[in-house]
Structure 1
Amino acid sequence: MQTATVLGMLLAALISALLVWWQYYFRAGARRNPTHVLALLRFLSVFGLFLLLLNPKISKTTVTTSKQNLVLLFDDSESIQNAGAADRVRQILTDLTGASSLSDRFHINSYGFGRELNALDSLGFQGEVSDLSGALTALKTVYGRENAVAVLVTDGNQTLGRAYEYLGPELNFPLFSLVVGDTTRYADLKISRVNLNKYVFLENSFPVEIFLTYQGRDSISSRLDVRLDGRNVFRRNVNLSAENNSMKISTSLLASEVGLKSLLLTLDSIPGEKNTANNRWRTTIEVIDEKTRVGIVSDMAHPDIGALIKAIENNEQRRVDLVNSRATAGELSEFDMLILYQPGRSFSGVYDFILQSGLNTFTIAGPRTDFTFLNRMQKGLQVSNFNQTEEILPVINPAFGLFDISDFSVEEFPPLLGTLGEILITKPNESILDQQVRGVNLQEPMLSIMSDEETRHAFLFGENIWKWRLQSFRNDQGFENFDRLMDKIVLYLTSDGKRKRLAVSYEQAYNAASDRKIKATFYDATFVFDPEAELKISIRGTDHEYTARQNMVLADNQYETDLSDLPPGEYSFSVTVEGQDIRSDGRFRIEDFNLEQLFVSSDPNRLGMLSEGSGGSLYYPDQLSALIDELSEDPRFSPVQKSTENVVSLIDFKILLGWIVMALAAEWFIRKYNGLI
């Protein structure tokens, strides 16, 4: 309590006593027995009023010590086990968590990473891939607003994610790297990358690009063999040296049979080579004998058209041609679907052909669209155009269920340029994206699909979708996010128009870096998603003895099955609905290819760049005690003392008011009882 508050209370008590003395003793003259009681009651009431005016407070200061977070991040992938460093890493974990100098100074939190970042219970080194960049990004999010320092224990080899060596300046905490494994550089020849298309057309030649890398001092010779379904289709001698340590080999192979084909590339090992697992590369291609033709009808040049062509033709099963609105019925009949870009009155002949042929369409409307004409020609659609141009942001509709859009994201997507107006779709429809203008969700469709028993039509209200494709590249360093959505829309519009109640989504081939899942969506008789259905999947190995039957698990409005425990090989599967005669079949392959086996030596150079960029340092296992000493003594990581001052009122106003009222009331009754004025 402050001195001024104490003096004020003493002064209030003195003034209250003087007022009581003047009234009950100086003026009263004769002292009756009730005088002392009345004086006391008057003193209490007056002193209470003074206390209300003073409102005295007391303060209490609490000093606490805040420790920083010490984050221990361990590589839990198979490359640690393959390098023979598993026991050493477990011992490092024990030494770091058991060091009293660290536990006294830090809050210690341990994590492990392979494909994802997880709280660490124990180290099993079973991860088939390692995403170091993803783990660091996750830690940056978790400890973004807290004081922290991190210790990374890894061999520096990454099989998934961004180039982590450049992430140091982006981290909000210093990172100390402890490199484990064999840092010796052995002679090594490997297949570093293979580029080829996922789909190939029958009787067509398809290109294959093979990138070879050599690490060593001497000149070497080897041989590259390429086998398609066990048949040797290409061979090339390879000569590399320390100066000429990489090679790109390009060739074209012929697709002669329809189906899923296995492509195996092998390199002969060189003298002294320790790791031969990276001399093999297995992948798959699918040979198909049909191609979907998509026509884009437009009378204007716009970047959107180029973006649509790139996105659709990213799937080799599709070909896109650009025509104008004066195209003849014969020209239009060559297409399996049409994309109508900002139609106007000149599109009359095109709409006449669509009405006669029943062709499915994808209409993109924008500021230059003639909505009066569109309302008249497009059955089931009415747009009230307010002739006001506006920037419109997309909002995903989570209830969309015609096909799976769970892997599509509109994060940081720029707005499209459109026109405000009420949109009425009178036929059955579902919206993929809704409109948002200036932070307000208009409850109007932005990207919608309308369907009936005969035709299907998609509508996008806005131009400049080329910006969406560009933003997809900025977000993910690739166009897959945008291209996958266009691929699914085209696939839906080019199908037979009969909605399947059971839709199954899967990959033809899975490897260690793939999300090994089969996903299914099931609808009831009214084509509403049925979350109560019981879906079962039967899996059978086609080249080995394996059978399994299990229930598919409901997750995020779809059913799925995890395939991560399946051994390598080829499989067939059937998805059935319990109690109904509905079934879907398919085939897939699990590749016998472990990315973690590609590495023999650790990579201290990249780890050093990462640590130095973040303000940390690089250490080796025999320098563990030096690392502990630095963490224990570095003044940057000292605990911080914080003082908290809690100021509270000394009195409770309710009690004090009650005290004053009771004193005054008692004084009044006593005076009345004794006949005092």
Structure 2
Amino acid sequence: MSNAVNLYYLLGLPACLIIGIAYAWLLYGHTKQLNKHLRFLLATFRAIAVMLVLWLLFSPLIRQISYTLEKPILVIGQDNSISAGNAPSAFNKKKYESDLKTLTERLSRKFEVQVYNFSDSVKSGLDFNYPGKTSNAAHFIKTINNKYLNRNIGAVVLATDGIFNRGGNPIYDLNNLKAPVYTIALGDTIPKKDLLIANVNYNNLVYLDNEFIVEVQTEAYESKGENTKLSIFENGKQIQGQQIQLNSNAFTKSIAVKIKATKPGFHKYTLSLSKLENEASLKNNNQNIIIEVIDDRQKVLIAGAGPHPDIAALKQSITLNKHYDVNVVLNADLDTVKPANYGLVILYQLPSAGYNTANFNKKLKESKAPVWYITGAQSNFTLFNQEQQAVTLALSSSAILETFSNVNPAFSTFSLDENAKRTISQYDPLQIPRLKVILNTMADVAIQQRLGKSNTTIPQLFFTALNGKKTAYLIGEGLWRWRLSEAKSREEAKVFNQLMSQTVQYLSVKDDKRKFKVTPIKNAFDENESILLNAVLYNDSYHPVNAPEVNIQIQDEHKKTFNFSFSRLESAYQLNAGPLPGGNYSYTANTQLGSKKYSSTGAFYVNTLLAEYQQTIANHQLLYTISHQNNGKMYGPENLLQILNDLEQNEQIKTLSYEDRKFEELISFKWIFAIIITLLTLEWVLRKRNAEV
């Protein structure tokens, strides 16, 4: 460390000394009664004290320079995945473990050595058990990069087989370290007789009654001339099988399997290759996948007193979405229909002036199905006003009025782009008797009426949610004109179809009104992932609360149970159940709010990881490339101690010296105050003894 003071402050020091001497002379220059030597000593004490006080008033800064030495950091990373433990028969495992420990110990005498093992996670120290389900060297290098950012990383020693099945190629992250990389080539590069499912491509979400493709990539080594069979099992039952002839020693083939989704829910499919004689590993012959089959098709009922072009236009538009099953029922047939079987009921000009639908309307009320009312000249407005309370349509005259359409800019239930708004405003008019529209509840108005060129705020298409029941209203008939007017300038009525589809979708989507819900963050986890579940509990006002305790019981497919309690968040709950073995799991969560007990059930799947069995041939070429591009070398495990000599001879690996400069005010040094106090105290004591005080 070295210190320096600015020249400006040094020049001020003599001036302060002169002032101090002058002050001391004024104080002691005429004290003849004191001994000459004593008077000189007292004057000296006072002059120095005054000089120091005055100099501190200049706030002088002192520059401090310190030097810190940092040894090179050597990072040793050992691949702890299953494939890294697969070694040729000549491999001496005990010698390798001993040599790696010796290398670590001897390097520690000269360098700062940091040792890690990695697979699907990064941990400190060496571990020769090789339990890792995956190998993610890129994550390891990123961890090192972040932890030792701007530090003196001298070199990286990477002991691995070059099989990296997660995170991608680490070579790009190694370039950011700007340090030589030395690799120890583990594993076996000689192909063995083995048959495996290398990869499976599939869609994990399919729709009921649809066919879906599962693409299975099979590989075989040293098995030319033999045969195997690919079998597909659904929930333990074989559904397909296919013979495969292995016509080369490095065989690969992709097989597309077509499966039909016949039942909703989660389905476990097992893909299995029949084993070969003397096969190296059987674990990679099988792979499980989980596919969720959903039945999101909604049944839509269009009910009317008789045929009408609007009904045909509606059905044609709605059925463009294959997830809607539209049924049109007219007049007397309505008595046989059960509205409870439908996700949405569209009442076209019902109640009707010419047909009595009292029996159907009674069943409709009991079903609590969402309803879309479309009124027109044949509507019975008196019965209409009696059957619903959200809006009152007061008939002023039976004369037909034509009303054009404008999209309400404040509409927010679903989105319509500017092109759609412009197209709707250009539609032909709807027809309706002269009515006074009175809204009796809050409504979200999508389209407002335009009379000629005069814009109004009278609703034409709007939505309500009275008592939690979603309902739509269209005031006017002539939807077929809308569709036809758009089709004149386009090949299809795109905007009309979009408007009808979004209206039907909004009305038919069921709101989840459960007061207690527990859901996993996803339906399928890998076995090295933590199982996370979220829970929410609502009171009677549907405000989230988390005062009660929430317990959950998770059960695997062998009926083994795991009990947990949720942790509380701000207004909800969360559970981290940690990783679980592969298989199907179901859960039941319970809680109690006041006197009411609640439960929630569900399921999830944990996928068994087979990545370490799907590629077993070590990739030493990749390790050589990594070392070569990063100014290092590749070693076999039998001569890894040579790394010690190469590291010591590498002139790039040096101890760094960091210079730290900082300026500090002299007034912050307490020893200066101690000198001033000491001088003044000694002066006072001497004057006291000589009766000068």
Tell me if both proteins adopt one fold, taking TM over 0.5 as the criterion: yes
Q: Match for 2:637 among 617, 621, 624?
A: 621
Q: Match for 1:182 among 188, 191, 195?
A: 188
Q: Paired residue for 1:398?
A: none
Q: Paired residue for 1:406?
A: none
Separation of aligned partners in 1, 2:580 and 2:625:
36
Separation of aligned partners in 1, 2:103 and 2:506:
54
Confirm or deny: 8 A CA contact 2:518 2:601 kept in the other structure: no
Equivalence map 1:241-640=2 (5 Å) = 241=248, 245-269=251-275, 273-291=279-297, 346-347=406-407, 361-363=413-415, 453-454=468-469, 494-505=509-520, 507-512=522-527, 514-542=529-557, 544-554=558-568, 558-562=573-577, 564-566=579-581, 568-578=582-592, 580-640=596-656
Partner SS, residue 406 of structure 2: helix
Separation of aligned partners in 2, 1:10 and 1:540:
83
Task: Using the TM superposition, give the Cα deviation of residue 629 of structure 1 relative to its aligned residue in structure 2, in angstroms.
Answer: 1.9
Task: Using the TM superposition, give the Cα deviation of residue 670 of structure 1 relative to its aligned residue in structure 2, in angstroms.
Answer: 11
- Pairing 1:68–2:72 present: yes
* Residues 52 and 181 of structure 1: CA distance in aligned 2, closer, same or farther (over 3 Å): same
Separation of aligned partners in 1, 2:157 and 2:537:
47
Deviations 1:249-280 (Å, cap 9, x if unpaired)?
22322223333322222234456642332222
Task: Using the TM superposition, give the Cα deviation of residue 180 of structure 1 relative to its aligned residue in structure 2, in angstroms.
Answer: 1.8
Task: Using the TM superposition, give the Cα deviation of residue 74 of structure 1 relative to its aligned residue in structure 2, in angstroms.
Answer: 2.2
* Residues 506 and 38 of structure 1: CA distance in aligned 2, closer, same or farther (over 3 Å): closer
* Residues 451 and 594 of structure 1: CA distance in aligned 2, closer, same or farther (over 3 Å): farther
Deviations 1:445-490 (Å, cap 9, x if unpaired)?
xxxxx9994569xxxxxxxxxxxxxxxxxxxxxxxxxxxxxxxxx9
Q: Paired residue for 1:478?
A: none
Deviations 1:223-250 (Å, cap 9, x if unpaired)?
43333332241414244436x8433222
Task: Using the TM superposition, give the Cα deviation of residue 625 of structure 1 relative to its aligned residue in structure 2, in angstroms.
Answer: 0.8
Deviations 1:29-56 (Å, cap 9, x if unpaired)?
x965444433333333334455567789
- TM-score w.r.t. the length of structure 1 is 0.61
Separation of aligned partners in 2, 1:4 and 1:262:
79
Partner SS, residue 641 of structure 2: helix
Separation of aligned partners in 1, 2:691 and 2:418:
90
Task: Using the TM superposition, give the Cα deviation of residue 368 of structure 1 relative to its aligned residue in structure 2, in angstroms.
Answer: 11
Separation of aligned partners in 2, 1:133 and 1:289:
40
Q: Paired residue for 1:235?
A: 242
- Residue 346 of structure 1 aligns to which amino acid in structure 2? N
Separation of aligned partners in 1, 2:577 and 2:466:
32
Q: Paired residue for 1:37?
A: 38
Deviations 1:284-311 (Å, cap 9, x if unpaired)?
22333333799xxxxxxxxxxxxxxxxx
Q: Paired residue for 2:230?
A: 224
Deviations 1:60-119 (Å, cap 9, x if unpaired)?
8765432122222222333344558875664355223322xx112222222222322233
Which deviates more, 222-231 or 102-111?
222-231
Task: Using the TM superposition, give the Cα deviation of residue 139 of structure 1 relative to its aligned residue in structure 2, in angstroms.
Answer: 1.6
Task: Using the TM superposition, give the Cα deviation of residue 202 of structure 1 relative to its aligned residue in structure 2, in angstroms.
Answer: 2.8
Confirm or deny: 8 A CA contact 1:274 1:600 kept in the other structure: no
Separation of aligned partners in 1, 2:129 and 2:255:
39
* Residues 527 and 125 of structure 1: CA distance in aligned 2, closer, same or farther (over 3 Å): farther
Task: Using the TM superposition, give the Cα deviation of residue 212 of structure 1 relative to its aligned residue in structure 2, in angstroms.
Answer: 2.7
Deviations 1:410-442 (Å, cap 9, x if unpaired)?
xxxxxxxxxxxxxxxxxxxxxxxxxxxxxxxxx
Q: Paired residue for 1:106?
A: 111
Separation of aligned partners in 1, 2:576 and 2:163:
30
Task: Give the unaligned 5+ runs of structure 1.
Answer: 295-315, 320-328, 339-343, 352-359, 383-449, 457-489
Q: Paired residue for 1:150?
A: 156
Q: Paired residue for 1:212?
A: 218
Which deviates more, 663-672 or 152-161?
663-672
Q: Paired residue for 2:139?
A: 134
- Residue 233 of structure 1 aligns to which amino acid in structure 2? Q
* Residues 270 and 94 of structure 1: CA distance in aligned 2, closer, same or farther (over 3 Å): same
Task: Using the TM superposition, give the Cα deviation of residue 626 of structure 1 relative to its aligned residue in structure 2, in angstroms.
Answer: 0.9
- TM-score w.r.t. the length of structure 2 is 0.60
Deviations 1:135-178 (Å, cap 9, x if unpaired)?
22122111121111322222222332223344332334433222
* Residues 154 and 536 of structure 1: CA distance in aligned 2, closer, same or farther (over 3 Å): same
Separation of aligned partners in 2, 1:130 and 1:181:
13
Q: Matched residues, percent identical?
A: 20
Separation of aligned partners in 1, 2:74 and 2:233:
51
Structure having the higher Rg:
2
Separation of aligned partners in 2, 1:212 and 1:68:
47
* Residues 193 and 22 of structure 1: CA distance in aligned 2, closer, same or farther (over 3 Å): closer
**Between Structure 1 and Structure 2, how many residues are aligned?**
520
Which deviates more, 192-201 or 532-541?
532-541
- Residue 570 of structure 1 aligns to which amino acid in structure 2? N
Confirm or deny: 8 A CA contact 2:5 2:62 kept in the other structure: no
* Residues 227 and 586 of structure 1: CA distance in aligned 2, closer, same or farther (over 3 Å): same
Equivalence map 1:23-62=2 (5 Å) = 32-50=33-51
Partner SS, residue 74 of structure 1: strand
CA RMSD of aligned residues (A): 5.4
User: Per chain length, whose mean CA-contact separation is higher, i.e. which structure has more relative contact order (CA < 8 Å, sep 6+)?
Assistant: 1
- Pairing 1:168–2:155 present: no
